[in-house]
């Protein structure tokens, strides 16, 4: 697990003035990575690092050769169009580059004259996927979400007996993962109403969101070689926000016996900025579970995991209808939760994913699953917030919503705050629902 070091010092300030603004997502203590280029130019994508309202163009900085050793090797990898090569180098390289960038961006740095010409405004940037995502696995790590959803479908048996023993997951579709801001068409699939004898092919009428985090894998493992839980976080590069859009009416008909399929694979949106595990070190908290639950099996347990295996990340869902946008009303917060409520940690996800010998690769993405908290207002999906669509939410425009309508936009945000540390953020994960294809109708 990453340790607190000089890059986390709350007294650090940057010569990039916007990075010193209180409450900014991207102070010098953060330094997240993305794949960027100037909007509308057709330039190649390359790695970038956020600092305040600006981005350090890693390709431009690499051409200046400001670093040596591991930091120079990591900078060369980060200058590529996507971050797979950097992700594959491992913690020593990541930490060396982060430290070198921190030194270069601090007030009084002798490298300011080298770095400043390599900055581009975030307002002028567009983003690509941070990595070529070879495989995507979505887990189910919130016991509160699992219980809430189970109660809707199985009132007498909401939590299946394997949940407290095994990190549940399924393999998703990497090709339909997009980067924020993403707009996608309403999906269609087979839908069967309870009072009909046969299903129809139709656009989803119960389109939902799931607030998750996405975990980018760093160095992989050889086929047949499990990753021990004590070493799991050395195989994690960083974290993004993730919205697992879900068509609940399609899901209800198709999910038994093999689980999610077309209800999930039409769109998944991630935020562009990958916050490294090292940046999150000041916000680690103990991993806890109810005392009357079985302890994890030995391959999922370790003293360091119990001491600081969880991460205190505050998370928010905001909803904006088309009418709200026309009236100049911003996205309205409808729920807040926290990653510390997860029943399974990111290290346990990695260890379990590989215990059978499955080989992970740099740039693979692991979703945490919907991160609902213990209170009703901490539900991280609309199917939970509205009690299966029975209790609509009222938005500032006066509109009522249970599930998403065409033109609706959902914005996910995340940030970390702790005593003795500078607040850092994840930016935003924004997605908008477009109408189904013209001509789509019940068939």
Q: What is the pLDDT of residues 352-406, one digit of tens each?
A: 999 999 999 999 999 999 999 999 999 999 999 999 999 999 999 999 999 999 9
Where exactly does CATH 2.30.30.230 map onto the chain? 6-128
Which range, of 35-39, 117-121, 136-140, 191-195, averages the lowest pLDDT? 191-195
Instruction: Tell me the percentage of the chain whose pLDDT exceeds 70.
Output: 99
Pick among 3.90.850.10, 3.30.56.10, 3.40.50.80, 1.10.10.10: CATH of 136-434: 3.90.850.10
- The tokens for 277 are 């595990």
Residues 424 and 27: their CA atoms lie apart, in Å, by 7
- The tokens for 70 are 């591991």
Residue among 8, 24, 93, 145 flagged as catalytic: 145
- DSSP bridge partners of 428: 413
**pLDDT band at residue 429, thresholds of 50, 70 and 90?**
very high
Contact between residue 352 and residue 125 where contact means Cβ atoms under 8 Å apart: no
CA distance to 37, 40, 82, 128, 176, per residue, from 44 (Å): 7, 11, 10, 10, 21
- Give one DSSP letter per residue of 119-164, joined into a string: EEEGGGEEEE-SS----EEEE---HHHHHHHHHHH-TT--S-TTTT
Residues 50 and 27: their CA atoms lie apart, in Å, by 8
For the cut 70, the answer to whether the pLDDT of residue 443 exceeds it is no
DSSP letter (8 states) at residue 96 = H
The CA-based angle 20-22-23, given to 5 degrees, is: 120
Phi/psi at 64 (5° precision): -85, -10
DSSP letter (8 states) at residue 19 = G
Tell me the pTM.
0.97
Where exactly does CATH 3.90.850.10 map onto the chain? 136-434
236-243 vs 211-217, strand pairing mode:
antiparallel
Residues in the chain: 443
> Residues with Cβ < 8 Å from 63, sequence gap 6 or more?
none
**pLDDT band at residue 69, thresholds of 50, 70 and 90?**
very high
Rounding to the nearest 10 degrees, give the CA dihedral for residues 196, 200, 202, 208: 50
Cβ count near 334 (within 10 Å): 19
Segment 254-267 mean pLDDT: 91
First and final C-alpha spacing in the chain: 53
- The CATH T-level fold of domain 6-128 is SH3 type barrels. (2.30.30)
Contact between residue 14 and residue 51 where contact means Cβ atoms under 8 Å apart: yes
Cα 169 versus chain centre, distance: 16
Contact between residue 57 and residue 50 where contact means Cβ atoms under 8 Å apart: no
DSSP letter (8 states) at residue 229 = G
291-309 per-position pLDDT tens digit: 999 999 999 999 999 999 9
CA distance to 141, 271, 328, 365, 370, per residue, from 242 (Å): 14, 7, 26, 10, 9
For the cut 90, the answer to whether the pLDDT of residue 152 exceeds it is no
Q: What is the pLDDT of residue 372?
A: 97
> Residues with Cβ < 8 Å from 289, sequence gap 6 or more?
164, 343
Q: What is the pLDDT of residue 323?
A: 97
Segment 129-156 mean pLDDT: 93
**pLDDT band at residue 157, thresholds of 50, 70 and 90?**
confident
Strands (E), 186-282: 188-191, 200-203, 207-208, 211-217, 236-243, 246-247, 268-270, 275-276
13-64 per-position pLDDT tens digit: 999 999 999 999 999 999 999 999 999 998 999 999 999 999 999 999 999 9
- The tokens for 224 are 């047949």
Q: Is 188 strand, coil or helix?
A: strand
Segment 429-440 mean pLDDT: 90
> Residues with Cβ < 8 Å from 440, sequence gap 6 or more?
188, 202, 203
Residues 349 and 8: their CA atoms lie apart, in Å, by 26
The CA-based angle 213-215-220, given to 5 degrees, is: 170
Contact between residue 248 and residue 263 where contact means Cβ atoms under 8 Å apart: yes
**pLDDT band at residue 3, thresholds of 50, 70 and 90?**
confident
What is the average pLDDT value for the chain, to the nearest integer? 96
**pLDDT band at residue 411, thresholds of 50, 70 and 90?**
very high
Q: What is the pLDDT of residue 404?
A: 98
- DSSP bridge partners of 185: 434
Segment holding 426, helix H or strand E:
strand 424-434
- The tokens for 29 are 């203590």
For the cut 90, the answer to whether the pLDDT of residue 245 exceeds it is yes
Q: What is the pLDDT of residue 316?
A: 98
- Give one DSSP letter per residue of 33-94, joined into a string: EEEEEETTS-PPPEEEEEETTEEEEHHHHHHH----HHHHHHHHHHTSSSSHHHHHH-HHHH
145 is catalytic: yes
Burial of 353 (0-12, 13-18, 19+ CB in 10 A): buried
Q: What is the pLDDT of residue 441?
A: 66
Using H for helix, E for strand and C for coil, what is the string for 306-362?
HHHCEECCEEEEEEECHHHHHCCCCCEEEEEEEHHHCCCCHHHHHHHHHCCCCCCCC
Calculate helix-pair angle for 69-78, 91-105, nearest 10 degrees: 90
């Amino acid at each position: 697990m990453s340790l607190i070091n000089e890059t986390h010092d709350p007294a650090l300030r940057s010569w990039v003035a916007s990075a010193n603004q209180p409450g900014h997502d991207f102070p010098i203590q953060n330094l997240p990575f993305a794949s960027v280029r100037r909007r509308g130019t057709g330039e190649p994508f390359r790695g970038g690092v956020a600092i305040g309202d600006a981005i350090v163009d890693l390709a431009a900085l690499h051409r200046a050769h400001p670093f040596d050793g591991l930091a120079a090797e990591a900078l060369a990898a980060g200058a590529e169009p996507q971050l797979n090569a950097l992700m594959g180098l491992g913690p020593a390289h990541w930490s060396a580059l982060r430290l070198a960038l921190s030194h270069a961006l601090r007030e009084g740095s002798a490298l300011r004259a080298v770095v400043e010409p390599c900055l581009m405004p975030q307002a002028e940037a567009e983003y690509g996927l941070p990595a070529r995502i070879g495989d995507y696995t979505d887990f189910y790590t919130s016991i509160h979400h699992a219980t809430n959803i189970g109660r809707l479908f199985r009132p007498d048996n909401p939590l299946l007996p394997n949940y407290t023993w095994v990190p549940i997951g399924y393999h998703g579709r990497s090709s339909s993962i997009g980067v924020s801001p993403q707009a996608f068409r309403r999906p269609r699939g087979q839908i069967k109403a309870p009072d009909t004898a046969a299903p129809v092919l139709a656009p989803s009428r119960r389109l939902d969101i799931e607030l998750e985090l996405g975990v980018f894998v760093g160095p992989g493992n050889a086929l047949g070689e499990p990753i021990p839980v004590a070493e799991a976080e050395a195989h994690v590069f960083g974290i993004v926000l993730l919205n697992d859009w879900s068509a609940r009416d399609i899901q209800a008909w198709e999910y038994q016996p093999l689980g999610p399929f077309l209800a999930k694979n039409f769109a998944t949106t991630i935020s562009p900025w990958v916050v490294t595990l090292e940046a999150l070190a000041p916000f680690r908290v103990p991993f806890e579970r109810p005392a009357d639950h079985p302890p994890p099996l030995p391959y999922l347990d370790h003293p360091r995991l119990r001491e600081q295996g969880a991460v205190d990340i505050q998370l928010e869902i905001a909803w904006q209808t088309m009418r709200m946008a026309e009236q100049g009303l911003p996205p309205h917060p409808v729920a807040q939760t926290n990653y510390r409520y997860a029943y399974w940690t990111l290290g346990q996800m990695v260890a379990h994913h590989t215990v059978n010998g499955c080989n992970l690769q740099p740039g693979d993405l692991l979703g945490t699953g919907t991160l609902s908290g213990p209170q009703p207002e901490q539900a991280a999906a609309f199917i939970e917030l509205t009690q299966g669509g029975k209790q609509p939410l009222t938005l500032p425009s006066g509109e009522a919503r249970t599930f998403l309508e065409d033109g609706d936009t959902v914005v996910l945000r995340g940030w970390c705050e702790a005593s003795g540390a500078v607040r850092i953020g994840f930016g935003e994960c924004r997605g908008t629902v477009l109408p189904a294809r013209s001509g789509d109708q019940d068939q």
